[in-house]
Amino acid sequence: MAGIEVTALHKRYPDGTVAVEQVDLSIGHGELFVMLGPSGCGKTTTLRAIAGLERQTTGDIRIGDTLVNDLPPAERDIAMVFQFYALYPHLKTRDNLAFPLRAEGLPKSEVLKRVDEAARLMRLGPLMDRRPRQLSGGEQQRVALARALVRRPRAFLMDEPLTNLDAELRADMRTEIKHLQGELGATMVYVTHDQVEAMSLGHRIAILNKGRVEQIGTPLEVYDRPASLFCAAFIGSPPMNLIEVEVADGALRAQGGLALTPPPGLSRDCHLVAGVRPEALEVTAPGAERSVPARVVSAEWLGDEIIYVVDHGGQHDVRVRMPPTVRFAADAQVGLRHTGGTPVVYDVSTEELVA
């Protein structure tokens, strides 16, 4: 296992598309590193550059201590799992697993041993003599994972490996991957556009947007203090409420009267937006203490919670996460109260976190 160092990666495709503007990543030995971002932000391209399937236009990639810029994929000693599993359709599971090993020219007994080991780890016993067509999506993905395992590569790259699975199976596989990664102490770069996946899997998450890294941090950091307006609007479901505020009388004041505790060190003269998580707000009875008058626009019952869309006289309606026991009808006059601590504040002109 080895860490991966990506420096000033830039990739422009021959047709002129710039898929990766500038990406710097420092992925630790044994880390499960998640790249998260919307479709088309350059996740796959970055991953393929690390794998050597795509040559970067400029920038350096190091795996362990080796500069791998000019190494073909075969010599980078990396395994990749694809969104579409890329199992060879004409080979049985057993041979699909053995193939990478045969490529290395390992002796037969060693091949057998490693295949058995990977099969045991991914519980493939009964599937060993089937072809990919005879396997379900989840089974195919397990085979694909096992195929990546047998080689004992220096790092694993995974490109949305669970996207084709249904929700339940996806949750199972997520647990499985996390467990496996921990067990093997493997360096793993995991690409996804699913934030739940990113949050639950990643030791650290890199949020990419338009070929740039917007933020790198632990799931908690990324959730608590999104580094930019983009991250704030991307992470969380529903995402943060972005409320335009002004600094006045020692508070952040929004249109409609909502007042928030200002973080220290705010400069007065910029145009600010406060990021408030839906769970940091509360819908109350009208006129409740510290509440501002508001109106319920709509409510979304999700079973274990209710998401209220509330008009508080500000420029945008806000979303509020409430337990299912607190019920208000649509159009009801209510109060809106901020219950969380100091909100994060962004400068509208730079779109970045100011405090």
Partner 1 sequence: MAVSVDEAVSTGPARDRTPPVRRRSGRGRSVLEVALLTVLAVVMLFPVLWMIETSIKENRDVYAVPAEFIGFTVTMEHFKDVFVGPDGGRSALSVAFLNSVLVAGASTVLATLLGVPAAWAYSRFAVKAKKDQLFFILSTRFMPPVVVVIPIFLMYRQVGLIDSKLGLILIYAAYNLPFTIWMMKGFVDEVPAEYEDAAMLDGYTRLQAFRRYTLPLLVPGIAATAVFALIFSWNEFVFAIFLTSSDSVRTAPPAIAGLIGGTTTDWGLVAAASVVFALPVLVFAYLVRKHLIAGVTLGAVRR
Q: Which residues bind partner 1 (CB under 8 A)?
A: 13-15, 48, 51-53, 72-74, 76, 78-80, 82, 84, 86, 88-90, 99-100, 103-104, 132-133, 137, 151
Residue with smaller CB distance to ligand ATP, 55 or 102: 55
Q: Does 158 bind ligand ATP (CB under 6 A)?
A: no
Partner in contact with 338, chosen from Mg ion, ligand ATP, partner 1, none, beta carbon below 5 to 8 Å by kind: none
- Contact in structure between 8 and 58 (CB atoms under 8 Å): yes
The least distance separating ligand ATP from the CB of residue 211, rounded to whole angstroms, comes to: 7
**Cis-peptide, bond into residue 238, ω within 30° of zero:** yes
What is the token pair recorded at 338? 């901020």
DSSP assignment letter at 39: T
Residue with smaller CB distance to ligand ATP, 42 or 335: 42
Residue with smaller CB distance to ligand ATP, 196 or 220: 196
Q: Using CB under 6 A, which of the segments 9-17, 230-238, 265-273, 327-335 binds ligand ATP?
A: 9-17
- Contact in structure between 5 and 67 (CB atoms under 8 Å): no
- Residue facing Mg ion at closest CB distance: 44
Partner in contact with 19, chosen from ligand ATP, Mg ion, partner 1, none, beta carbon below 5 to 8 Å by kind: ligand ATP
What is the token pair recorded at 71? 């190494």
The least distance separating partner 1 from the CB of residue 95, rounded to whole angstroms, comes to: 12
- Contact in structure between 306 and 324 (CB atoms under 8 Å): yes
What is the three-class DSSP state of 211? coil
Residue with smaller CB distance to partner 1, 133 or 268: 133
Which neighbouring-strand residues pair with 78? 155
Residue with smaller CB distance to partner 1, 14 or 107: 14
Tell me the number of residues near ligand ATP by CB under 6 A.
13
In the chain, what's the furthest Cα-to-Cα distance?
Answer: 78
Which string of b and e fits 231-267 if b means at least 16 CB within 10 Å? bbebbbeebbbbbebebeeeebbbebebbbebbeebe
Place of tokens 């000033």: 8
Q: Which residues of this protein are in contact with ligand ATP, per CB under 6 A?
A: 13, 15, 17, 19, 37, 39-45, 193
